[in-house]
Chain A
Amino acid sequence: DAGVIQSPRHEVTEMGQEVTLRCKPISGHDYLFWYRQTMMRGLELLIYFNNNVPIDDSGMPEDRFSAKMPNASFSTLKIQPSEPRDSAVYFCASRGGTSGSRGPETQYFGPGTRLLVL
């Protein structure tokens, strides 16, 4: 399996521009997570999906952030308009749910997208 795939790996943009991050989870995994990691705040959960349905988006910082999962093999995280404080590494992760969401199944992380907003 290729693992979780994210694109782009690096993104440099100017303040005010729209940014779209993409993720392909591991085939067969029914949970998908979007995280943001910064030195100041560590690894923060933004939103997660179960069977393509958003379950908890309480970590999404504000209305400028939106996420979709149109099918089991693709998700996007969009920032519009972007701001310099959005600069961070954004990770997508997926996991299976064969033991239910309380099981020990681990999350598998993608390589991340390093976003720099100037």
Chain B
Amino acid sequence: GQNIDQPTEMTATEGAIVQINCTYQTSGFNGLFWYQQHAGEAPTFLSYNVLDGLEEKGRFSSFLSRSKGYSYLLLKELQMKDSASYLCAVRDRLGYIPTFGRGTSLIVHP
């Protein structure tokens, strides 16, 4: 089975930087995804990591350490529209389908 942990809620200030952590325990590893989900909407894909290191996409970056079972999503220059839930999803060696964590609700305030 899989165990994926994320903080339940975080708050940050507009213009700041925030780091959302995700730790996982799986029987194997075959990729980690980050999704963004605004209230009342569907999850949308943000990033994918399968090798160690940092993947950067504009204001968003995602980091992976397979040996530590750890990933983080880094959001820079926060905007009010970044208020959303951020879901970490891990795909293990056996399964082809990622398992989702419970998500981190990020609140950005002025």
A111 contacts chain B at the CB level, 8 A cutoff = yes
Cα separation A43 to B86 with both chains bound (whole Å): 12
What are 17 A-B contacts with C-beta separation under 8 Å?
Answer: A33-B97, A43-B43, A43-B100, A43-B103, A45-B97, A48-B97, A101-B96, A102-B30, A104-B48, A104-B50, A106-B45, A106-B48, A109-B42, A109-B43, A110-B42, A111-B41, A111-B42
Determine the chain A residues whose CB is within 8 A of the CB of B41 once the complex forms. 111-112
Given contacts A42-B102, A104-B48, contact A91 B96 (CB under 8 A): no
**Per-residue contact bits, chain B 49-89, to A (CB 8 Å; 1 contact, 0 not):** 01000000000000000000000000000000000000100
Instruction: Given contact pairs A43-B43, A108-B45, enumerate 9 new A-B contacts (beta carbons under 8 Å).
Output: A42-B87, A42-B101, A42-B102, A42-B103, A101-B96, A101-B97, A102-B30, A106-B33, A109-B42
Cα separation A107 to B99 with both chains bound (whole Å): 12
A104 touches B97 (CB 8 A): no
Chain B positions near chain A (C-beta within 8 angstroms): 30-31, 33, 41-45, 48, 50, 87, 91, 96-103
B30 touches A107 (CB 8 A): no
A45 touches B99 (CB 8 A): yes
A40 to chain B, nearest CB (A): 9
Cα separation A33 to B98 with both chains bound (whole Å): 11
Contact of B42 among A56, A91, A106 (CB under 8 A): A91
